[in-house]
């Protein structure tokens, strides 16, 4: 008995460890978590570690690109033991699973006594996740990483980074501010101390903001709330990674041995079952549903349940998915990509605000890789990367776009390309980005995100006979891509006045958006960046030659 | 059937209870109604302080030092000006205002030289300062600017407090200027007993050069991209508000073109010079002339500043000492 209790404790310790590791890496996904000398700033920890362990991300990447990006081969660490042992990952490691496990333990009106036991029996709707898996894999085969909408890590990191954590950051500041401004010395000191401690560890230096982030937060909250009806509903019914590991467990060597003779149908095993895999003595065990949490073994007063290697047991292996359902999933995945690509984003006229981060691949290559994990948006020091809502059409939902009005792309920064787990934003160095040393210093062209344009009907020197030049001041390339022309203008009193009107030189502009960010006309800037001229798209260019080539001609 | 009537005693208690709750609600409502006023912006505080120290006729008001080691330049300059203890008293809170505006490395000469800052910090401790604070309100993302400029590491190595521009620590202040009235100012700059301005000399398209005056933009929060509309008057308003103890213009590396951001090593010129002193107008006029050949007559803000009594544009009339270190 003692030994068994220890196994449960071991599992809990393991779950807590990986959840804390996950949260630590998530919080450190930012400039605060970076290191290195001034000219080569990198992440201190492999903050995208959990994505590297994700066999679903790896499989989707392999199917869509016929290759495995960088560290994704690490996912074998989860997949291979999973093939031998079963879905231990879901019960022991997965941080999303651990969160659901925690909330699944909460009591509710809908989950007590008989209802609770019944809710933990195997249900046919648990097979939904296999249909989802088949659909996202079919989509991957057709070159779209839609799987990111459902991948548990993508979902969790996206909801936490773009909504829950910024919300907590706001809440913490809202509580700390009145404490710090208190007239009572003790309270003020406590507030100051808390502020300093939280700033050094978890608080953001600047409050992050994300467009429609609240939707992403609500998705996670609803999924967690479903635990009040059915324990780990997400893991049982929806998670495509769980489905993948369930299928992978088909030939696993570990089985649940049920000693039917000693079972007295007390149903204690069902009470604590996480996977809904029928550990109870009278029904066949569903191997692909079991998370190997070992709660049933621990709960059985008769010691009738044992996990054993190399046994022939009466059990249901594999997804148990009727062919018709499987075909429906396949059809959905196969149909999704052509239907989505018949939208405008893949056509001639893209949304002008579809500005991708530096290092992003050409759009169809990008969409075949991006799992919408939001790591790039979390790490961006300027809060510049935002989840796309309509800029990239439905297929690009929650992929990263640069929103210069909120933040511009920092010239020497390449952190988004460093944390991207799938190569949608290919790793580049600040030197390859080519904005720092100045154009003409390197033989290569810099990475360009788009091109800036002035709106002369709003620009102060153009429209209002007023000095400004802030766009030129902020332009980070050298020689500057914004040049000034001294002109004599007439102001409202009819008097003549000398001032400098800005022009963009598109051969030098890299599309960083600093001018748009710095423009005093904040809500509708008089200089703005659009995607035209982005170096990733041969079909989205203006000039015949740019930069270096121009100089040679 | 049980009797459902209440006793007289219970009835009285019920009435008292509901009357109490009603009276409380009404009182709260009238109290809150009395408090209703139209929300007004936080009143700007008048917190102007003069950080200057008296001028001594025996000592120069401007020193120009040339040499290889930036730290030696600082030591020499402060020595020539009468020693740091002339400016910093025991237990002073000293605030240093370098330029840490841009996400650039020291070689790109967009931010003040970190060695210059480090040496000034050290000198302040020697004079017995209580706190030495280094701060700026950056343009680019502040954490990157402070790290990549090398100033954060250099100042911390000398024991200074490096304060990043926390958005929660700005105070609405009445600058009392001609065009600048109520603006958010970063709090550490208001706590100073002594204030040392340590800009770097750079090119700027609107003002020709950005030196000591323009460095004061970095105390402000808010929408400071509007200042450029009346940049000369804004500069003078700010300089009249800040009144520094001492100004050191870092001309070790200067940014000749493409200022104030630069980025290209070709824009940088190595001048190995430090210009320091107590007359901010003369210092700016001298550097503009020496390195950009700009006449102070063409720099409108210097003329306005002289009219305001902030210093002398005719730097040749200011007692000056030139030193070249071997």
A518-528 pLDDT tens trace? 999 999 999 99
Is A524 in the same domain as A409?
A: yes
B128 touches chain A (CB under 8 A): no
Q: What count of other Cβ atoms lies within 10 Å of the Cβ of residue B39?
A: 4
Q: Are B110 and B265 in contact (CB under 8 A)?
A: no
Asked casually if ipTM beats, i.e. exceeds, 0.95, the reply is no
Angle (CA) A237-A333-A249 rounded to 5° is 45
Pair A371, A459 in one domain: yes
* Residue of chain B whose Cα is closest to the Cα of A479: B258
Structure confidence by residue, pLDDT tens digits, A138-153: 999 999 999 999 999 9
Same structural domain, A306 and A367? no
* B19 in a structural domain: no
**Residue A381: closest C-alpha in chain B:** B141
When divided into structural domains, chain B yields a total of: 1
Pair (A491, A525) in one structural domain: yes
Upstream peptide bond of B260 is cis (omega within 30 degrees of 0): yes
Cross-chain CB nearest to B103 (options A410, A438, A518): A410
Quick one: tokens of A497?
A: 């006045």
Query: What count of residues does chain A have?
Result: 553
Domain span including residue A189: 167-210
User: Does B38 reside within a domain?
Assistant: no
| Nearest-angstrom CA–CA distance, B106 and B152 | 12
pLDDT at A552: 43
Residue pLDDT, tens place only, A178-190: 888 888 889 989 9
Average pLDDT of the residues in A66-70: 91
Decide which of A313 and A391 is more confident.
A391
Q: For residue B240, give the nearest of B315, B171, B176 by alpha carbon.
A: B176
A312 inside domain: yes
Kindly state whether residue B42 falls inside one of the protein's structural domains.
Answer: no
Same domain flag for A203 and A144: no
Q: Is residue A39 part of a domain?
A: no
- Whether A486 maps to a domain, the answer reads yes
The helix (H) or strand (E) run that includes residue A91 is helix A88-92
With CB atoms and an 8 Å threshold, state whether A478 touches B261: yes
Contact B141 A522 (CB under 8 A): no
Number of domains in chain A: 3
Would you mind telling me the total number of residues written for chain B in this entry? 326
Q: Is the pLDDT of residue A553 over 50?
A: no
Cis-peptide into A345, omega within 30 deg: no
Boundary residue ending a domain (A316, A334, A358): A316
Give the per-residue pLDDT at A1. Answer: 47
Confidence label for A550 from pLDDT (cuts 50, 70 and 90): very low
Alpha helices, DSSP H only, in B36-129? 70-80, 114-126
- A177 to chain B: closest CA residue: B168
Residues A126 and A179 occupy one common structural domain: no
Tell me the pLDDT of chain A averaged across its residues. Answer: 90
Q: Is residue B51 part of a domain?
A: no
Best of A204, A480, A500, A502 to disrupt the B interface (most B CBs within 10 Å) is A480
Residue of A nearest to B255 (CA): A478
**Alpha-carbon span A213 to B221, nearest angstrom:** 27
* A305 phi/psi in degrees, rounded to 5: -110, 130
Of the three residues A296, A316, A336, the one that is the final residue of a domain is: A316
* Residue A548, pLDDT score: 53
pLDDT tens-digit series, residues A504-515: 999 999 999 999
**DSSP secondary structure string for all residues of A135-194:** HHHHHHHTT--GGGGT-HHHHHHHHIIIIIHHHHHHHHHHHHHHHHT-SSHHHHHHHHHH
Mutate to test the interface with A, among B261, B266, B269, B300 (most CBs of A within 10 A): B261
Is there a contact between B225 and A520 if contact means CB atoms under 8 Å apart? yes
Q: What is the DSSP letter of B220?
A: B
Kindly state whether residues A463 and A389 are assigned to the same domain. Answer: yes
CATH of the domain at B272: 3.40.50.11440
User: In this structure, are A183 and A78 located in the same domain?
Assistant: no
Q: Is residue A337 in a domain? A: no
Residues of chain B with pLDDT under 50: none
Pairing outcome for strands A385-387 and A305-309: unpaired
Q: Does a structural domain hold residue B35?
A: no
Whether the per-residue pLDDT at A105 is higher than 80: the answer is: yes
> To 10 degrees, what angle do helices A152-159 and A95-104 make?
80
**Residue A360: pLDDT over 90:** yes
Q: Are residues A77 and A114 in the same domain?
A: yes
Reported confidence tier of residue A439, pLDDT bands at 50, 70, 90: very low
Q: Which of A276, A304, A370 is nearest to A64 (CA)?
A: A370
Whether residue A200 sits in one domain with residue A86? no
- Residues of chain B neighbouring A476 (CB-CB closer than 8 A): 261, 263
Q: Please give the residue that has the higher pLDDT: either A15 or A191.
A: A15
Residue A331 in domain: no
> B5 lies in a domain?
no
> Binning pLDDT at 50, 70 and 90, where does residue A551 land?
very low
pLDDT in tens, A473-489: 999 998 899 999 999 99
Is position B34 within any domain?
no
What is the span of the domain harbouring residue B168? 62-324
The CA distance from B274 to A528, in Å, is 40
Substitution target in A412, A416, A434, A502 with the highest count of B β-carbons within 10 Å is A412
Contact residues of A toward B, CB < 8 A: 31-32, 38-39, 41, 173, 177, 180, 205-207, 381-382, 410-413, 435-438, 441, 460, 466-470, 472-480, 484, 500, 518-520, 522
pLDDT of residue A210: 96
The answer, yes or no, to whether residue A386 has pLDDT greater than 50, is yes
Q: Do A204 and A254 have their domain in common?
A: no
A5 — pLDDT class (breaks 50, 70, 90):
low
Rounded Cα gap, residues A90 and A81, in angstroms: 12
B207, closest residue in chain A (CA to CA)? A469
Q: Is residue A341 part of a domain?
A: no
Domain identity same for A119 and A234? yes
| Cβ neighbours around B27 below 10 Å, total | 10
Residue B264 is assigned to a structural domain of this protein = yes
Q: Does B130 touch chain A (CB under 8 A)?
A: no
Coil, strand, or helix at residue A202? Answer: coil
Instruction: Inspect the interface and report whether the beta carbons of B265 and A437 lie closer than 8 Å.
Output: yes
């Amino acid at each position: 008995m003692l030994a068994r209790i220890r196994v449960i404790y071991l599992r809990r310790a393991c779950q807590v460890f990986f959840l804390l590791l996950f949260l630590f890496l998530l919080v450190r996904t930012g400039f605060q978590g970076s290191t290195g000398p001034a000219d080569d700033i990198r992440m201190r920890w492999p903050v995208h570690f959990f994505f590297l362990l994700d066999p679903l991300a790896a499989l989707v990447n392999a199917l869509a690109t016929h290759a495995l990006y960088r560290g994704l081969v690490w996912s074998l660490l989860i997949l291979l033991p999973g093939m031998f042992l079963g879905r231990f990952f879901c019960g022991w490691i997965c941080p999303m699973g651990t969160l659901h496990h925690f909330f699944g333990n909460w009591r509710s009106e809908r989950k007590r006594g008989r209802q609770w036991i019944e809710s933990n029996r195997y249900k046919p709707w648990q097979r939904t996740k296999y249909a989802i898996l088949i659909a996202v894999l079919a989509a991957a085969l057709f070159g779209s990483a839609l799987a990111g909408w459902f991948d548990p890590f993508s979902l969790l990191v996206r909801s936490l980074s773009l909504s829950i954590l910024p919300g907590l950051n706001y809440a913490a500041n809202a509580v700390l501010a009145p404490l710090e401004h208190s007239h009572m010395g003790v309270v003020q000191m406590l507030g100051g101390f808390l502020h300093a401690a939280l700033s050094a560890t978890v608080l953001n230096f600047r409050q992050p903001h994300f467009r429609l982030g609240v939707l992403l937060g609500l998705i996670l909250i609803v999924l967690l709330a479903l635990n009040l009806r059915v324990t780990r509903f997400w893991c049982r019914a929806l998670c495509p990674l769980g489905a993948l590991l369930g299928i992978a467990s088909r030939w696993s060597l570990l089985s649940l041995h049920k000693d039917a003779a000693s079972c007295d149908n007390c149903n204690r095993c069902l009470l604590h079952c996480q996977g809904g895999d029928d550990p109870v003595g009278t029904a066949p065990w569903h191997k692909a549903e079991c998370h190997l949490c070992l709660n049933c073994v621990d709960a059985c007063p008769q010691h009738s349940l044992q996990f054993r290697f190399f046994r022939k047991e009466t059990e249901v292996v594999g997804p148990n998915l009727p062919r018709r359902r499987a075909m429906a999933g396949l059809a959905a995945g196969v149909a999704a990509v052509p239907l989505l690509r018949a939208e405008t984003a893949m056509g001639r006229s893209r949304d002008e605000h579809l500005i991708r981060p530096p290092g992003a691949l050409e759009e169809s290559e990008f969409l075949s890789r991006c799992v919408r994990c939001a790591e790039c948006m979390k790490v961006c020091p300027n809060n510049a990367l935002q989840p796309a809502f309509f800029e990239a059409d439905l297929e690009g939902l929650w992929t990263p776009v640069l929103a210069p009005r909120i933040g511009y792309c920092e010239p020497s920064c390449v952190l988004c390309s460093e944390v991207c787990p799938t190569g949608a934003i290919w790793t580049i160095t600040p030197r390859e980005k080519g904005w720092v040393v100045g154009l003409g210093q390197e033989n290569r062209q810099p990475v360009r995100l788009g091109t800036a344009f002035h709106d002369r009907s709003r620009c102060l020197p153009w429209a209002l006979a007023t000095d400004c030049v802030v766009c030129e001041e902020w332009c980070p390339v050298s020689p500057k891509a914004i040049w000034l022309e001294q002109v004599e203008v007439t102001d409202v009193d009819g008097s003549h006045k000398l001032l400098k009107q800005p022009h963009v030189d598109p051969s030098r502009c890299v599309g960083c958006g600093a001018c748009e960010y710095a423009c005093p006309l904040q809500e509708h800037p008089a200089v703005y960046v659009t995607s035209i001229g982005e170096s990733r798209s041969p079909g989205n260019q203006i000039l015949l030659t740019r930069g270096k080539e121009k100089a040679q001609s | 059937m049980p009797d459902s009537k209440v006793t007289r005693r219970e009835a009285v208690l019920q009435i008292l209870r509901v009357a109490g709750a009603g009276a409380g609600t009404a009182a709260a409502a009238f109290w809150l109604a009395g408090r209703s006023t139209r929300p007004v912006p936080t009143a700007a505080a008048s917190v102007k302080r003069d950080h200057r120290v008296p001028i001594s006729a025996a000592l120069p008001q401007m020193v120009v030092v040339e040499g290889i080691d930036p730290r030696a330049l600082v030591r020499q300059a402060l020595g020539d000006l009468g020693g740091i203890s002339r400016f910093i008293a025991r237990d002073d809170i000293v605030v240093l205002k370098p330029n840490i505006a841009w996400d650039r490395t020291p070689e790109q000469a967009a931010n003040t030289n970190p060695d210059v800052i480090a040496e000034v910090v050290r000198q302040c401790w020697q004079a017995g300062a209580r706190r030495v604070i280094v701060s700026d309100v950056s343009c680019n993302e502040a954490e990157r600017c402070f790290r990549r400029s090398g100033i954060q590491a250099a100042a911390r190595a000398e024991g200074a407090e490096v304060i990043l521009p926390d958005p929660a620590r700005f105070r609405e202040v009445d600058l009392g200027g001609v065009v600048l009235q109520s603006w958010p100012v970063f709090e550490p700059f208001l706590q100073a007993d002594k204030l040392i301005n340590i800009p770097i000399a750079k090119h700027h398209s609107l003002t020709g050069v950005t030196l000591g005056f323009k460095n004061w933009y970095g105390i402000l929060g808010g929408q400071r991209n509007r200042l450029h509309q009346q940049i000369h008057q804004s500069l003078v308003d700010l300089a009249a508000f800040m009144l520094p103890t001492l100004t050191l213009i870092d001309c070790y590396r200067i940014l000749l073109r493409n200022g104030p951001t630069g980025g290209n090593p070709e824009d940088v010129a190595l001048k190995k010079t430090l210009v320091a002193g107590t007359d901010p107008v003369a210092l700016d006029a001298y550097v503009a002339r020496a390195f950009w050949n700009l006449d102070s007559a063409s720099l409108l803000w210097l003329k306005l500043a002289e009219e305001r009594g902030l210093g002398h544009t005719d730097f040749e009339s200011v007692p000056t000492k030139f030193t070249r270190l071997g």
